Amino acid sequence: MQKEDKRKPDREIRLNGIRLAVWANETDGRRWFSAAPSRRVAEAGSKEAKYYTTFNGVADLVLLRAAIDQAIDWMNRQRDQQSAEEE
């Protein structure tokens, strides 16, 4: 079993069951981002939901693309803010 990262994402985008979690990372003084997409599925008769990293059909992919676009915009704003702070 793989150990889970317990820290919360720096940004989380949710669109109708599609989730894109974004983390800011730093290596050798350079800031970079990673993202993990997932799809939430409610289990019938249970309060628990399961999360999958596969997406079904065009509708899921359209939502994932919209989440990715939002994440890119957020990452660019973070980069611009960091650049302004360094000046």
In three-state form (DSSP H/G/I as H, E/B as E, the rest C), the secondary structure along 70-85 is: HHHHHHHHHHHHHHHH
Res 87: pLDDT: 73
Give me the torsion for CA of 29, 5, 69, 11, rounded to 10°. Answer: -80
Give me the torsion for CA of 63, 73, 14, 67, rounded to 10°. Answer: 20
The CA radius of gyration of the chain, in Å to the nearest whole number, is 16
Res 44: pLDDT: 82
pLDDT along the chain (87 residues), means of 10: 71 97 92 95 86 95 98 94 80
